[in-house]
């Protein structure tokens, strides 16, 4: 796969653009919807969800109501759950259309400030089920007619997206906001630009995590590097043998009011083939350094050289130092060779806009580490996969 076809599945936050009207009706409707979504339920048990790997994507099989399961891309780089099939709205038994729409754009942005990929569509409230895990009254979107033919849906195994980042990225727009011109299609290009909003829904996975009995919200993601993987919700995330309680924990910078809602780690320095790069500034509200299952590659900051003749080491390694929780750096290391040979290592251009991430630790990260996200502590831990034993 060439980097040109890499879907950089990070929904970007825009400055500028139009701002939502302060509409009291929609505020009230919003709190009612969220009140229903978060009504008290008994604590749920742990869940282990099977993931399928196909063409650079980790996929989760998700059913809306009684419809056949759809394969949704598991994306830690966004927060909305959305189905590609634009014919679904007429045939969604048991789900109610809300008065809100989704508008998502996927980076990187162009010099003109537009994005090349994204969608617009209505939010529904209804039941989602994922291999026996029922999420009642979940908020999910369905791509509307005229969505910008995202590469997520065309020529790929995924039939939608399952975002699991923080709530701030699950942006919503009251239906009074006209989104009909958000996406412009010309014969050769797609240009999408969503307005800004600070309103959001609780993402379905967060709705489920809030039910865990010990009060803290945790989940884990495992990928074997081959055909299979698992997502662990609740206590299962620390009960799995993939998790080591002594694994180092890195800080997540980007939760809380006003934050972008990404899983933004603080990258202190990077070594590529023995050359060191410092001064990567992954600040809280923009220029994030994100951990993102939805990007099938490592995307390194602008200025990092991938020219192997400049490397000191024969077999190229990537070492990433993150700000740890317990003082000291959390050091992740990767053998770059397999990813270079598949063209799954690239560098980002200099950021065009303040919302462009500086660095993306994409899916290759999970071929080596199990990640356990603790949303209560805003940390992520990295357990290296057990080495296969010989004999
Ligand atoms: C979209 O959904 C409709 C209604 O459920 C179904 O008939 C159709 O086959 C689906 N299309 C695709 C491409 O999955
Ligand atoms: C998650 O963080 C909370 C708050 O710091 C802590 O009480 C809890 O033990 C953590 N859970 C795990 C599994 O590390």
Residue with tokens 């924990």: 249
pLDDT of residue 86: 77
Q: Is 216 in the pocket of ligand 2 (CB under 6 A)?
A: yes
pLDDT of residue 373: 97
Query: Domain map of the chain by residue range?
Result: 3-209, 241-384
pLDDT of residue 212: 62
Q: How far apart are CA 252 and CA 144, in angstroms?
A: 33
Average pLDDT in the 81-93 region? Answer: 83
Query: What DSSP string describes 184-234?
Result: EE-SS-EEE-PPB---B---HHHHHHTT-TTS--EEEEEE-SSSEEEEEET
* Ligand minimally distant from the alpha carbon of residue 85: 1
Q: Is 376 in the pocket of ligand 2 (CB under 6 A)?
A: yes
Rounded to the nearest 5 degrees, what angle is found at the Cα of 78, between the Cα atoms of 43 and 89? 80
pLDDT band at 257 (very low <50, low <70, confident <90, very high): low
Distance from Cα 172 to the centre of ligand 2, integer Å: 30
What is the bridge-based pairing of β-strands 133-142 and 81-83? Answer: parallel
Task: Provide the CATH number for the domain formed by 3-209 in this structure.
Answer: 2.40.70.10
Distance from Cα 373 to the centre of ligand 2, integer Å: 10
Average pLDDT in the 377-386 region? Answer: 96
Mutate to test the pocket of ligand 1, among 85, 93, 121, 143 (most ligand atoms within 8 A of CB): 85
Residue 121 exposed, middle or buried by CB count within 10 Å (0-12, 13-18, 19+): buried
Ligand 1, CB within 6 Å, residue ranges: 67, 85, 87-88, 91
pLDDT of residue 91: 74
Closest by Cα among 79, 149, 140 to 119: 149
> Which residue has the least CA distance to atom 13 on ligand 2?
238
Q: Is the dihedral of CA 292, 295, 301, 304 positive or negative?
A: positive
pLDDT at 2 over 50: no
Closest by Cα among 216, 100, 207, 132 to 164: 207
Residue-wise pLDDT for 19-50, tens only, equals: 333 343 444 445 444 544 444 445 556 899 99
pLDDT of residue 286: 65
pLDDT of residue 227: 92
Q: Which helix (H) or strand (E) holds 341?
A: helix 337-341
pLDDT of residue 106: 82
pLDDT of residue 346: 93
Query: What superfamily would CATH give domain 241-384?
Result: Acid Proteases (2.40.70.10)
Distance of CA 239 to the CA centre of its chain: 24
* Ligand minimally distant from the alpha carbon of residue 46: 2
pLDDT of residue 362: 97
Closest by Cα among 145, 139, 134 to 180: 145
Token output for 311: 């490397």
Please give the C-alpha separations between residue 107 and each of 22, 192, 236, 301, 304, in angstroms, as whole numbers.
28, 10, 33, 15, 20
Whether 3-209 shares its CATH topology with 241-384 is answered yes
Residue-wise pLDDT for 152-187, tens only, equals: 787 788 999 999 999 988 999 999 999 988 988 777
* Ligand minimally distant from the alpha carbon of residue 93: 1
pLDDT at 206 over 60: yes
pLDDT of residue 57: 93
SS3 at position 147: coil
pLDDT band at 114 (very low <50, low <70, confident <90, very high): confident
pLDDT at 13 over 80: no
Mean pLDDT value across the chain: 83
CB 185 within 8 A of CB 150: no
pLDDT band at 85 (very low <50, low <70, confident <90, very high): confident
Q: Is 218 in the pocket of ligand 2 (CB under 6 A)?
A: yes
pLDDT of residue 54: 94
pLDDT of residue 389: 52
Q: Is 240 in the pocket of ligand 2 (CB under 6 A)?
A: no
Query: What φ, ψ does residue 350 adopt, rounded to 5°?
Result: -55, 140
The one-character DSSP state at 342 is T
56 vs 86 pLDDT, higher one: 56
pLDDT band at 388 (very low <50, low <70, confident <90, very high): low
Average pLDDT in the 72-93 region? Answer: 88
Query: What φ, ψ does residue 105 adopt, rounded to 5°?
Result: -130, 140
Distance from Cα 73 to the centre of ligand 1, integer Å: 18
User: Peptide bond preceding 290: is omega within 30 degrees of 0, i.e. cis?
Assistant: no
pLDDT of residue 312: 64
Distance from Cα 121 to the centre of ligand 1, integer Å: 16
pLDDT of residue 191: 86
Residue-wise pLDDT for 328-375, tens only, equals: 999 999 999 999 999 999 998 876 666 678 899 999 999 999 999 999
pLDDT of residue 120: 92
């Amino acid at each position: 796969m060439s980097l040109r076809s890499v879907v950089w599945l990070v929904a970007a936050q825009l400055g500028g653009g139009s701002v939502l009207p302060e509409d009291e009706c929609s505020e009230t409707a919003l709190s009612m919807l969220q009140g229903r979504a978060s009504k008290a339920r008994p604590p749920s048990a742990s869940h282990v969800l099977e993931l399928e790997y196909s063409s650079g994507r980790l996929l989760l099989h998700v059913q809306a109501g009684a419809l056949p399961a759809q394969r949704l891309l598991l994306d830690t780089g966004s927060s909305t759950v959305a189905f590609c099939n634009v014919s679904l709205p007429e045939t969604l038994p048991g789900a109610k259309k809300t008065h809100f729409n989704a508008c998502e754009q996927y980076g990187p942005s162009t010099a003109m400030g537009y994005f090349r990929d994204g969608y617009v569509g209505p939010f529904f409230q209804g039941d989602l089920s994922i291999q026996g895990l029922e999420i009642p009254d979940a908020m999910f979107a369905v791509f509307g007619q005229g969505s910008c033919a995202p590469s997520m849906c065309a020529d790929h195994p995924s039939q939608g997206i399952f975002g699991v980042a923080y709530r701030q990225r699950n942006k919503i727009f009251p239906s009074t906001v006209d989104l009909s011109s958000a996406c412009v299609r010309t014969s050769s290009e797609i240009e999408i630009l969503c307005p800004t909003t600070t309103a959001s829904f609780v993402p379905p996975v967060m709705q489920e995590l809030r039910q865990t009995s010990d009060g803290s919200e945790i989940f884990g993601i495992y990928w074997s590097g081959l055909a299979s993987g698992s997502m662990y919700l609740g206590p299962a995330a620390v009960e799995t043998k993939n998790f080591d309680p002594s694994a180092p924990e890195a800080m997540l910078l980007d939760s809380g009011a006003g934050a972008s809602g990404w899983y933004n780690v603080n990258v202190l320095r990077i070594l590529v083939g023995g050359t060191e790069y410092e001064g990567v500034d992954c600040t809280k509200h923009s220029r994030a350094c994100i951990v993102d299952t939805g990007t099938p590659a490592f995307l390194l900051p602008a200025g990092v050289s991938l020219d192997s003749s400049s490397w000191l080491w024969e077999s190229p390694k990537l070492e990433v130092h993150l700000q740890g929780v317990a003082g000291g750096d959390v050091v992740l290391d990767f053998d770059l060779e397999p990813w270079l040979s598949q063209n799954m290592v690239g560098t980002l251009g200099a950021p065009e806009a303040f919302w462009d991430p500086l660095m993306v630790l994409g899916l290759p990260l999970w071929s080596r580490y199990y990640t356990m996200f603790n949303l209560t502590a805003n940390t992520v831990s990295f357990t290296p996969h057990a080495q296969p034993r010989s004999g």
